[in-house]
Every structure is written in C-alpha cells, then in structure tokens.
C-alpha cells in the first residue's frame, strides 16, 4: 500500500482474500482510501485478493498488464471498478 499526497495505490493483492483481509485488519488499513490497484503480473499470488478489495471498494481503477486474458478486465468491470491495461514493466 502506497499512500501518496494525491492518491493511495495498492500494489498487488496477495494470494488469498482471507490473508489480505487479515492483514488489512491487523494493519488498520481503510480500503475505501484506495484509488488505484496495480497488478504487477499474472500469478495467483498477486491477484488472489483483488475481488475482496473491490467488494469493499469498487471505486478503484485497476491497472494490469496487456498480456492478461480479457476475462480479467471483464471480471474487474463486473465488480463495478474501472479496468485499464498497461504495458509490461
């Protein structure tokens, strides 16, 4: 979680929703403050908690590599968030 002066960015979402939500509770993170989520690459250990975050806060733009399958963007949009691809690092 990167808390900047203008935006709060969550970088990857971990393996499982249970682990992410546990850490959110322990660290006292307010997921409603997240503006953007950046997914680094397409392994499950980076995307597993995404649905749980978007269920708490769909008012988020999710950036992910262009190599992701189209279903990924559709899943993000079905959770009412904005999906945007970006070039690989």
Residue nearer to Zn ion on the CB measure, 6 or 44: 44
- d(CA 24, CA 27) in angstroms, rounded, equals 5
67 binds Zn ion (CB under 5 A): no
Output Rg (C-alpha) for the chain, integer angstroms.
12
Least CB distance from residue 50 to Zn ion, whole Å? 14
Q: Which residue is nearest to Zn ion (CB)?
A: 43
42 binds Zn ion (CB under 5 A): no
Binding residues with Zn ion: total (CB under 5 A): 1
How crowded is the C-beta side of 2, counted as CA atoms within 13 Å?
10
43 binds Zn ion (CB under 5 A): yes
Cβ neighbours of 80 (radius 10 Å): 12
| Residue ranges that bind Zn ion, judged by CB under 5 A | 43
């Amino acid at each position: 979680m990167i808390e900047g002066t203008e935006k709060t960015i969550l970088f990857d979402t971990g393996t499982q929703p249970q682990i992410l939500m546990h850490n959110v509770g322990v660290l006292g993170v307010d997921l409603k403050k997240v503006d953007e989520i950046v997914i680094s690459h397409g392994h499950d250990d980076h995307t597993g908690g995404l649905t749980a975050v978007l269920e708490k806060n769909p008012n988020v733009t999710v950036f992910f590599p262009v190599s992701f399958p189209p279903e990924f963007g559709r899943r993000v949009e079905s959770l009412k968030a904005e999906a945007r691809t970006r070039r690989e690092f």
